[in-house]
Amino acid sequence: MLAGKRVLLIVSGGIAAYKALELVRLLRRAGAGVRCVLTAGGAQFVTALSLQALSEEKVHTALFSLTDESEMGHIELSRSADLLVVAPASADILAKMAAGIADDLASTLLLATDKPVLAAPAMNVRMWLHPATQANMASLRARGVAVVGPEEGAMACNEFGPGRLAEPPVILATIGRLLGQAGPLAGRHVLVTSGPTHEPIDPVRYLANRSSGRQGHAIAGALAACGARVTLVCGPVAIADPPGVGVRRVETATEMLVACEAALPADVAVCAAAVADWHVANAADRKLKKRPGAGPPTLDLAPNPDILATLSRPGPSRPRLVVGFAAETEDVRRNAAEKLARKGCDWIVANDVSPASGIMGGEENAVLLITAQGEEAWPRLPKQQVAERLAARIAEALGQ
């Protein structure tokens, strides 16, 4: 995907520097040449040796190095790549970039370059939200510096909020876009459902389930990173929107179906939402009150539309590939195979959601992929990696 392209990767200080190693690996796998520059701060977290081993190129650290300067001057180095990527970009290096300070090799290269620059900030949430950092970001953006992330979530410093380095595959996809490379799903439209649905009981109460939306959101992000135009129809979730994805927020199963049908045509549909099977037919339009002497209210449940089965129905607007999920607590293989047949979808991603598995609402997933060609049991992986594998499999299937 990036064959023949050259990236100069500047690794500045911060705990997220370890993820730069993964980024180098992904860039190399995508065919790019990578030359790394490690700042003094970055060297506190990762070694030049690791970067050198993964990039298979000399790592540069010093501005006033006689040997480095004789082999390749820093001005030449700043222009030797198609793109400069600062990942992680600390508050300090962003401030230097904004102010035009050149007091070490990395900041000098950033001032001397005539090539596009991508910054992937990573820092403590308060440092990120500080007006000084925000002002620096505004002036860098105004000067044309591209920015990816930071993402929101739990941080190494035990705080929560924006400040986490964007995931390496997301940085890779951004690099691909900046270098004008089309991903394997370019030109495709993919519809993804994610999260739970909320079925009202009255204006303040609802029926719900434990789905966090993490897996569906990660899939939407991974498909976008492969170049697809992604429409994500999601129920109420407490996680950030995946980058580069069009999001339609809904609450109930019926609203989810309407939003999905409105998003058609699509080449692929991935139904990862944990849709409630029933809604409350006698939902009250005022808050239910306890009445002395009266017993608890009775809820009349009525079936919800099955979105996956509806999208799988043969017809001109049926996506070419429809992927369902099977959340099971027992007999995963048999129930999932039966679900594939009953819903009429093409693939089923089955997973064990029994409380002991820790999958529902957790960070990892262990899936069994059932396709017309047979079954594949994937190892237990972070949900992000499950998403990337699934996106890659979808790209492969559409390419056939």
Q: Which residues are catalytic?
A: 157
b or e along 376-385 (b: 16 or more beta carbons within 10 Å of the residue's beta carbon)? eebeeeebbb
Alpha-carbon gap, residue 270 to 148, rounded angstroms: 25
* Closest CB to ligand CTP among residues 198, 339: 339
Report d(CA 261, CA 144) in Å as an integer: 38
- Considering the complex, state which of residue 105 and residue 272 has its C-beta at the smaller distance from ligand CTP: 272
In terms of CB distance, is 63 or 299 closer to ligand CTP? 299
| Closer Cβ to ligand CTP, 119 or 273, answer by number | 273
Task: Name the residue nearer to ligand CTP (CB basis): 29 or 210.
Answer: 210
Of all residues in the shown chain, the one whose CB is closest to ligand CTP is 307
Count other Cβ atoms within 10 Å, centred on residue 73: 11
Cα–Cα dist 378/7, whole Å: 32
Burial class (CB in 10 A: 0-12, 13-18, 19+), 107: buried
In 3D space, the residue among 236, 244, 99 whose CA is nearest the CA of residue 166 turns out to be: 244
The two structure tokens encoding residue 324: 């369902």
- C-alpha 170/C-alpha 60 separation (Å) is 25
Min dist CB 250 to ligand CTP, Å, is 12
d(CA 250, CA 232): 10
Nearest distance in Å: CB 395, ligand CTP: 20
Please identify, using beta-carbon distances, which residue of 97 and 191 lies nearer to ligand CTP. Answer: 191
Give the footprint of ligand CTP on this chain (CB under 6 A).
193, 253, 271, 273, 275, 277, 304, 306-308, 324-327, 339
Dihedral, CA of residue 78, residue 82, residue 88 and residue 94, to nearest 10: 60
Closer to ligand CTP at the Cβ: 170 or 327?
327
Tokens 């520097």 belong to: 17
Q: Cβ of residue 232: shortest distance to ligand CTP, in angstroms? A: 13
User: Could you tell me which residues come within 8 angstroms of residue 156 by beta carbon, excluding any fewer than 6 positions away?
Assistant: 15, 16
CB of 125 to ligand CTP, least distance (A): 33
DSSP 3-state helix, strand, coil percentages of the chain (rounded to 5)?
A: 35, 25, 40
Which stretches within the chain are classed as H helix?
A: 17-29, 48-55, 66-71, 74-78, 91-99, 105-112, 125-129, 131-142, 168-178, 214-225, 253-263, 307-312, 332-343, 383-399
Tokens 């009150």 belong to residue: 289
